């Protein structure tokens, strides 16, 4: 066997030599319970209505392999329209889809668990524009993409490197996925997402993962997760289905996410939107299980509302929080992991509107028990912009959520009776033994907030939160150290990319 072939077909996962364990947990294990807004009667009703949608209206699948698989499974296929008997999709999913799975990272200490009582925070996904305090709003480039990957790697509250953290518009559309996936591999050792803009690009992602981890390891383990959006209402297009098929066939995870702007792509009511989301998601998840039973799949949704005056999407409003919470409950009943939420906002800059709307999305996300949180940091302008400063500011909030998810410490140290006995009435706790033992870790320490006196804040330049985040961003990029990647693996990856790029012409579609 040639040397280059041996590099690609190893039976053991390759990893960065001497990779260190992360300073913080690789993912959250929630102690606090999920907060459910819909009772059993309401959830039963939504499931019944979703079955009615699947049976009566059906779902359009613009993909011949999907139509063939559904027909063989017993669905009613009429052209591109597929209708399902009551409970058919639910049974397919429950029979094989895992309730929890591990996504392996090239640094094993950073692998994440998706499902059960775990929560994984991933950064913003998809914006064509970038914003920072110095350069303002502009089209994103590969340099921006790499910077965001490096920052995400350095921010412990972000457990996942994400996927399209911004669109590098200085590269051809049909080739930029190589550089994006390679950047996640090269500049971070956290888990990452794959390309979905064409089935061939999904296959390129899988092939690069085979070089990184080894062919057999990839077949037996989940090493990449990818976002498959439904073209709501009630339609899946060929591009998304083709990518989903590639990943499922290779035992890699997909997030089947109806993309909903309620009032335009679903009914204006939360209950109506929930029923449509469940129908679409179950149909898409069932497809992955027909491709390869047991392939990891996540019930996802991106649900927002629109302004009925302008048609623009709105964020941080109550109705999407209701939909998020109900969908999380439905996913638990179905027995699959759930993706939603994040730090979403419609603001153009990281201002008070951005903070309020992001908080109004993030807190319901944690309370609902979301497992995979995309857009957890860096999102601006309704998803059109990735912001350097907001990435830093949001990550600070994510660190707080991690502490909150840990709940109460009821250990002997947590009860602190020794401190109360030592101090007694009328004194203070600053100097007692318990405080001295715990003060370094007693409270969350923000890297952004300024809690000093007005005089000290003023003497240090009177910077606002965005300015402090900008300074922190520059500091992190200046301190960045690349995680070591095996040189032979790196060489094989670059050779694969060069060979594939040279095999077809540049194109902007």
- Kindly indicate the confidence band of residue 305, based on its pLDDT and cuts at 50, 70 and 90: confident
Distance (Å, whole) CA 493 – CA 370: 34
Residues 118/29, Cβ–Cβ less than 8 Å: yes
Q: Which helix (H) or strand (E) holds 313?
A: strand 313-314
What pLDDT score was predicted for residue 23?
62
Q: Which of 182, 259, 228, 284 is nearest to 495 (CA)?
A: 182
Is residue 388 scored above 90 in pLDDT? yes
280-304 mean pLDDT: 97
Residue 468, φ and ψ in degrees, nearest 5: -65, -35
Q: Give me the chain's average pLDDT, please.
A: 94
Is residue 6 scored above 50 in pLDDT? no
What pLDDT score was predicted for residue 1?
33
430-453 mean pLDDT: 93
**pLDDT > 90: what percent of the chain?**
90
Instruction: Choose the weakest-confidence range: 9-18, 68-77, 112-121, 301-310.
Output: 9-18
38-58 mean pLDDT: 98
What pLDDT score was predicted for residue 8?
36
Residues 304/277, Cβ–Cβ less than 8 Å: no
299-317 mean pLDDT: 87
Is residue 13 scored above 50 in pLDDT? no
97-118 mean pLDDT: 98
What pLDDT score was predicted for residue 376?
98
Q: Which of 187, 142, 156, 181 is nearest to 481 (CA)?
A: 187
Residue 400, φ and ψ in degrees, nearest 5: -65, -40
Is residue 177 scored above 70 in pLDDT? yes
What pLDDT score was predicted for residue 22?
53
What pLDDT score was predicted for residue 307?
80
What pLDDT score was predicted for residue 312?
82
Is residue 270 scored above 90 in pLDDT? yes
- Kindly indicate the confidence band of residue 309, based on its pLDDT and cuts at 50, 70 and 90: confident
Is residue 19 scored above 80 in pLDDT? no
What pLDDT score was predicted for residue 3?
34
Tell me: the pLDDT tens digits for 208-259?
A: 999 999 999 999 999 999 999 999 999 999 999 999 999 999 999 999 999 9
CA-to-CA dists, residue 73 to 56, 89, 236, 285, angstroms: 18, 10, 18, 14
Q: How crowded is the C-beta side of 73, counted as CA atoms within 13 Å?
A: 27
Distance (Å, whole) CA 419 – CA 88: 59
69 by Cβ neighbours in 10 Å (0-12 / 13-18 / 19+) ranks as: buried
- Return the SS3 of 104: coil
- Kindly indicate the confidence band of residue 313, based on its pLDDT and cuts at 50, 70 and 90: confident
What pLDDT score was predicted for residue 299?
98
What pLDDT score was predicted for residue 342?
97
């Amino acid at each position: 066997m040639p040397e280059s072939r041996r590099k690609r077909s190893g039976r053991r996962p390759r990893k960065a030599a001497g990779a260190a364990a992360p300073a913080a947990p690789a993912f959250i294990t929630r102690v606090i319970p999920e907060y459910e807004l819909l009772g059993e009667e309401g959830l039963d009703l939504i499931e019944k209505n979703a079955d009615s949608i699947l049976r009566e209206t059906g779902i359009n699948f613009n993909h011949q392999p999907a139509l063939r698989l559904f027909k063989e499974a017993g669905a009613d296929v009429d052209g591109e329209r597929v209708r399902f008997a009551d409970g058919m999709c639910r049974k397919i999913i429950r029979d094989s889809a895992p309730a929890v799975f591990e996504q392996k990272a090239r640094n094993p200490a950073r692998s994440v668990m998706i499902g059960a009582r775990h929560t994984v925070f991933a950064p913003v996904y998809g914006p064509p524009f970038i914003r920072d305090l110095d350069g303002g709003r502009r089209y994103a480039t590969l340099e921006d993409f790499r910077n965001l990957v490096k920052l995400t790697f350095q921010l412990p509250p972000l457990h996942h490197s994400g996927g399209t953290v911004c669109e590098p518009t200085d590269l051809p559309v049909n080739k930029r996925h190589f550089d994006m996936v390679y950047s996640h591999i090269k500049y971070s050792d956290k888990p990452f997402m794959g390309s979905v803009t064409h089935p061939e690009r999904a296959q390129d992602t899988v092939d690069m993962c085979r070089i990184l981890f080894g062919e057999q390891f990839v077949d037996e383990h989940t090493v990449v997760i990818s976002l498959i959006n439904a073209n709501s209402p009630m339609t899946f297009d060929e591009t998304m289905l083709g990518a989903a098929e590639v990943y499922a066939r290779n035992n890699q995870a997909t997030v089947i996410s109806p993309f909903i702007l309620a009032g335009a792509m679903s009914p204006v009511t939360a209950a109506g939107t929930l029923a449509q989301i469940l129908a679409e998601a179950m149909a898409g998840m069932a497809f992955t299980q027909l491709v390869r039973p047991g392939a990891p799949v996540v019930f996802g949704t991106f649900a927002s509302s629109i302004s009925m005056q302008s048609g623009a999407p709105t964020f941080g409003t109550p109705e999407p929080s209701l939909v998020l919470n109900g969908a999380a409950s439905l996913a638990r009943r179905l027995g699959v992991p759930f993706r939603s939420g994040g730090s979403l906002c419609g603001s153009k800059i990281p201002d008070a509107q951005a903070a309020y709307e992001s908080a109004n999305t993030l807190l319901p996300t944690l309370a609902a028990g979301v497992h995979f949180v995309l857009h957890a940091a860096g999102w601006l302008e309704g998803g059109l912009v990735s912001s350097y400063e907001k990435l830093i500011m949001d990550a600070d909030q994510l660190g707080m959520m991690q502490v909150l998810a840990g709940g109460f410490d009821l250990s002997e140290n947590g009860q602190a009776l020794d401190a109360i006995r030592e101090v007694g009435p009328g004194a203070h706790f600053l100097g007692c033994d318990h405080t001295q033992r715990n003060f370094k870790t007693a409270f969350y320490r923000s890297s952004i907030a300024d809690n000093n006196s007005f005089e000290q804040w003023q003497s240090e330049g009177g910077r606002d939160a965005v300015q402090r985040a900008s300074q922190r961003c520059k500091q992190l990029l200046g301190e960045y150290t690349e995680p070591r990647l095996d040189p032979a693996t790196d060489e094989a990856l670059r050779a694969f990319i060069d060979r594939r790029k040279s095999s077809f012409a540049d194109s902007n579609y």
